[in-house]
Structure 1
Amino acid sequence: MTVTDDSTTLLADWQRWHDDREATLREPHGWLALTALEWLDETPRAIADLPGTWRAPGDGSIEIAASAADGVEVEGERVDGTATVRPVDGAPGVLVAVGDRVVELARRTDSYALRVRDPRAATRAAFTGVPAFPVDARWVVTGRFEAYAAPERITVGAVVDGLQHFPTAVGTVTFPVDGHEHRLVALAGKDGGLSLHFRDATSGVSTYGGGRILRTADPAADGSLPIDFNRTVNLPCALTAYATCPLPPADNVLDVAIEAGETLPDPS
């Protein structure tokens, strides 16, 4: 059952959403601004093109050693000596300013990463938009959410070998495609709603091989859930080599081709 038959409204709404999506990607310190990913350990390291030294002593923190002249700022305060930050596993990293660049210090399980976000990054300068399948009302359906008795912390792999992510699964979503029922494990959304992270028959062909993600609103009280696959997006790892994205839950592999949403970005 489709949620709307008004293809003009569907396209106009999608275009506004898509424009906002691309504007977010173009932000000066967004995903397209990444220029480096380095893994830290207890040994102080000088990172190419960055002042000072950086290390992860193994106690949950990252230490930065710099002089005032280096211009490294943590929470608005210039580092003159040693500063310590404590990134949270799985959360966005702590942001450290170095001139007009931002250094993101992140924790992934027991590994510690340093990423540089540079507004002058070649990927940001060359960005012309994210390609997508044509918008089609066929991909707007009503699904049904069934909650688990209690949320479950699950383990999934990552695009970086050896890393793991631990999202919270809250239930399953069943939905129709061409008269056949399909089911996905639903993850808790970061800002409410649900997150459907999946692979399908387009993955690695016309869409990113590591899967795509669709964020939905909260289900209604009766479990019904509007789903618009036209708003399925790539994870950052499809756009940059310096992301550590999770892979979909093991059960979230569809045998149908979801020819909706974002496709493989232009490799140029």
Structure 2
Amino acid sequence: MSTLQSESDVTVDDTAFAAEWQAWHDSHEKNRADPHGFLAVTSLNWLDETPTRYPDAPGEWSTSAAGPVVTLADGEQIVIDGQTISGSTEPVTYAFGIIAERGGVTASAGAAEFEVARRGGVDILRPRHPSHPTLVDYAGTPVYPPNPRWNVDGVFAPFDEPRPVTVGSVSEGLEHVYDSPGVIEFELGGESLSLTAFNGPTPGSLFVLFTDATSGVTTYAANRSLQIAAPYAEGRVTLDFNRATNLPCAYTEFATCPLPPAENRLPVGIEAGEKIPGKAAL
């Protein structure tokens, strides 16, 4: 495995940098362990036109061109946007309507929540129970010590027009399509590298999916993600690989996470950010 720096070679003496990273990491871990986060997911159900019951959700679920529906029998109920829908002596059907790709609606019943969403052109039901062992037993994610050497400068090179990029998924047979606004060019250890970027959660921000020479060794094999603030003067950006994070698929089989595009498989080892869950000794 080719690596550029080893954590043993560096002493982090920037107290402010380490403290800022620690605050970010603590917040990220808190969000990950949310009672209804992805660690609480108990199943991944691909809906079709056949009404089907699942052991971890009330009602019978199906979908069609008009979107997913649930039919509730007597004694069953769900809450959506503060409205309680209850079955009675006659079954009651609730229609969610057409859900946009990567969109979703959340229903609840008791302590559980139910994600009704669309992934890869298919409607899904994903129950989330706070009592699920994956969440209850979660003890945190091992990480490389924060190291300023992995906080690197780059330049965002926009395309003339956003380009649709099709990537695979950890869920077999599923594909995701993202619009890429451009690439990020940077250097590590004197080596010129680039990453295809996608639009981030806030206006102008970006994110990248990548693997590197540590993937499958000390870091999760399929992917890691890095959020990047909006470019500033002359397209400059900062890539802080200390904040490279695992996607849900590193923790649960009930995920549909995208895989990095082929060009984002870096030939170097990024010894920074989150490691494989449960392998703190690596």
Query: Which interval holds the TM-score relative to the shorter structure?
Result: over 0.9
Report the TM-score, using the length of structure 2 for normalisation: 0.89
* Selected match of 1:178 from 185, 189, 210: 189
Cα distance in structure 1, aligned partners of 2:200 and 2:58? 37
Extract unaligned runs of 5+ from structure 2. Answer: 1-11
Q: Which residue of 2 aligns with 1:265?
A: 277
Q: Which residue of 2 aligns with 1:39?
A: 46
Q: Which residue of 2 aligns with 1:231?
A: 243
Cα distance in structure 2, aligned partners of 1:202 and 1:252? 14
Cα distance in structure 1, aligned partners of 2:27 and 2:179? 27
CA deviation vs aligned residue, 1:18-65 (integer Å, no higher than 9, x gap)? 0000000111101111111111110000111322100012x0510100
Cα distance in structure 2, aligned partners of 1:267 and 1:201? 17
* Selected match of 2:20 from 5, 13, 18: 13
RMSD: 1.6
CA deviation vs aligned residue, 1:97-130 (integer Å, no higher than 9, x gap)? 1211001111123322111111111111111111
Q: Could you tell me how far 1:67 is from its partner in structure 2?
A: 3.6
2:42 aligned partner, one-letter code:
T
Cα distance in structure 1, aligned partners of 2:74 and 2:228? 46
Cα distance in structure 2, aligned partners of 1:134 and 1:237? 23
Q: How does 1:51-90 map to 2 (within 5 A)?
A: 51-57=58-64, 59-67=65-73, 69-79=75-85, 80=87, 81-85=92-96, 86-90=98-102
Cα distance in structure 2, aligned partners of 1:245 and 1:45? 25
Change (3 A) 1:181 1:128: same
Q: Which residue of 2 aligns with 1:101?
A: 112
Cα distance in structure 2, aligned partners of 1:126 and 1:191? 32
What is the SS of the residue equivalent to 2:197?
strand
Extract unaligned runs of 5+ from structure 1. Answer: none
Q: Could you tell me how far 1:87 is from its partner in structure 2?
A: 2.2
Q: Could you tell me how far 1:76 is from its partner in structure 2?
A: 2.1
Q: Which residue of 1 aligns with 2:138?
A: 127
Aligned length: 262
Q: Could you tell me how far 1:151 is from its partner in structure 2?
A: 1.2
The 8 Å contact of residues 194 and 218 in structure 1, kept in 2 or not, is answered as: yes
Q: Which residue of 1 aligns with 2:4?
A: none
Q: Could you tell me how far 1:267 is from its partner in structure 2?
A: 7.0
What is the SS of the residue equivalent to 1:159?
coil
What is the SS of the residue equivalent to 2:53?
coil
The 8 Å contact of residues 63 and 82 in structure 1, kept in 2 or not, is answered as: yes
Q: Hey, which bits of structure 1, 4+ residues long, moved more than 6 A?
A: none
Report the TM-score, using the length of structure 1 for normalisation: 0.93
